[in-house]
Structure 1
Amino acid sequence: MTATAPVRRTVDRVRTKTLGGPTEQVDRNALVIAPNEVHNTDPFLLMAEDWFSTPGFEWHPHRGLETVTVVLDGKLEHGDSLGHAGALEPGDIQWMTAGSGIIHRELAYHNEFAHTLQLWLNLPGDKRMVDTRYQDLRRAEQATVASPGVLVRVVSGDTSGVHGTAETHWPITGLMVTLEPGSSYTPVLPAQDRTFAYVVAGAATIGGTAVGDGQIAWSDPMGGDEPSSLDLLATDPEQPTTLMLFSGKPIREPIVFGGPFVMGSRAEIEQAFADYRRGRFGQVPRLARL
C-alpha cells in the first residue's frame, strides 16, 4: 500500500508585529499575535515579545489557558504559587498550564536583561479548569532533528519521527527551527491544523511566500484527514534564519478574555476574579529574589 503524499500548504496571510513600549513593566515590547481576531488564530490566542530589565512582570494570576514562554536572550527568573522557582536561559522554554488558577511572576534575573516570546494557548471548555502544571523544557534536554544546515528543536508533538517532551492538554506541534542560508526544512502536519511560522531572525520563503524578520505567516486548516506539509526555506544570505512554528487544530468554542483570564463566558470571567480575590488560586509565595 502506497502512503499518501502530504498536501502542500500555502500561506493565507502575513502579519507584521506591532511595536510598543516602553511600559511600566518592560523596556519595549511587540504584539505578534493580537487577541482581537481569535476566529483567525484559534487555538493560538495571543503572542507577545518583550525586552525587559526591571521591574518585569511581578506576581499576577492566570486561569483557563496555557502559556508557552521562550527565552530568546538574557536570563528569565520565575516563581509561582505551586512553589516552583528558577531561572531560564536562551533556548529554554516554560510551558505553564494555568488551568483552575495559578499566580506567578517573570523577571529579568538580577534585573539584568531578558528577551522573551510568550504564546497563549486556548483550551477546550472541558479542560479550562484542569489542575495547574508547570514544565521546564531545558534546551539541552529538548528533542532535536538535525541535518546539514538544519536544526529543529521539537518542543511538542511529532516531526520527522521525533517526539517533543512537553505534555499538552490539546494536540499542539511546537518547533523552533534554525536554518543556515539556503537551507530548507518541510515539517509534516495534520491538514486540520492551523499553523503559524514566526520569523524571529533572518528571512524565509514559507509555503512559497516571502516572510521577513518580525513577520508571522498563517496557514489555515485545509480539511480532510490527509497529512500536509509546509516548505520552509532560509533566504537571508548573511545569517541563519530562526523560526518559531506552532500548529494545532482550532477548538471553535466561545472565547472570552478578562485581563489575565481566558474563559468561555463573561460569568466565568467574573467567577475567576472572585475566586482570585478569595485566595482560591493559592497564596503569593514570599520568595526572595534568586
Structure 2
Amino acid sequence: MLLLAIASRSAMACEAPPPPVRDIDANRYYTDARSSVIDPVLKTRNEAAVRPVNDFLEVVARRASAWQRRGDVADAHCALNWLEAWARPGAMLGTMTTPQSYYTRKWTLGGMALSYARVRDAATPAQRQAIEGWFGRLADATIAHSDAHKGVRNNHYYWEGLAVTAAGAVTGEQRYLAWGRKVFGDAMRQVQPDGSLPLELARAGKALHYHLYAAAPLVMMASIFDVQHPALERLVRYAVDGIADPARIERAAGAPQELPARIPGWIAIYDRHAPRPLSVGPPPGDNWDARMGGDRNLANPLEHPVR
C-alpha cells in the first residue's frame, strides 16, 4: 500500500519534502558467513531504519520519470524541490553506523543522480549549484569510504562505481568519471572466461541472484561511458542463462539457487546499448528501480542507446 501511495503522488500536487536524514543507522540482516541466509526480523528492522531515505528516493524518481515521460513541468519542479531541500542541509553526510548504512547511502546517491539527469534541464541555477554540490560531497564520501575499506570488491563496489559515475556525469566532474571507469575496469577483470564472478559465486544459494544484481550497475555504467566490453557480455549471458538453466551455477556455487521469475528489468538498458540484445520479448511494463533512476524502460539521458 505504501508503494502504491507513493506512485500515485506523481499525479497529485507536490507534497512538502520530508525532513532531511543526516545520519543512517542500518543493520546487517544475513546470518551466515556466506551472506546467503536472511533473518526476517533483522531484515524488517533494516527496512524500517532506511525507509525515510528509500521513500524520499522513490518520490524523486517517480517525479523525474514522469517529467521525462509526459513533460509536465510540475513533476520536474517537485523532484528538484525535494532534492534541493535535502541538498542544502547536507542530508546523508552525517554518521554512517554500519557497512549497511554506507550501502544505503551509495544506492541512494546513484538513484538520485540518475533521476536528476532526467530533470536537470528544468533546474534553476541556484538549484543546480545546491544539488550538484551536494552530489559532489556525497561522491567524495563514497570514494573515501571505498578506498579506505579495500576489502571484498564485490557487487557493492560496482554500485559505488555507478553512484560516483552518475554523480560525475551530472556534475561534469571528471575525477568522478575517472574513478567510475576504474571501478568498471576492475569489474571487467574479475569476470572469468565462463562469465562468472568468483566473489558472487561465493554466495551459495544466492549466487545467481548476486550475479544478476552485480550486472545491473555495470550495465548502466557501460551505457553511460558508451563502451562495449566482451567481459560484460560474458557476465550478462552467464547470469541470464542461469535463470533458464541454473545447473552450471549450482555446480560452481555448490548449492541450489533461488530463481527469479524472469530476467531482471535492467535487461532493457543492456539491450538498448549492447551490440547484440538478449531479450526475446519486451521488458516488463512496470520496469521500476528507483536506485537505477526509476523507469528503466525510459532511456535515461545519461545512457547511449544504439537502438
Which TM-score applies when normalising by structure 2?
Answer: 0.26
Structure with more helix by fraction: 2
- The structure where strand makes up a greater share of residues is 1
Q: TM-score, normalised by structure 1?
A: 0.27
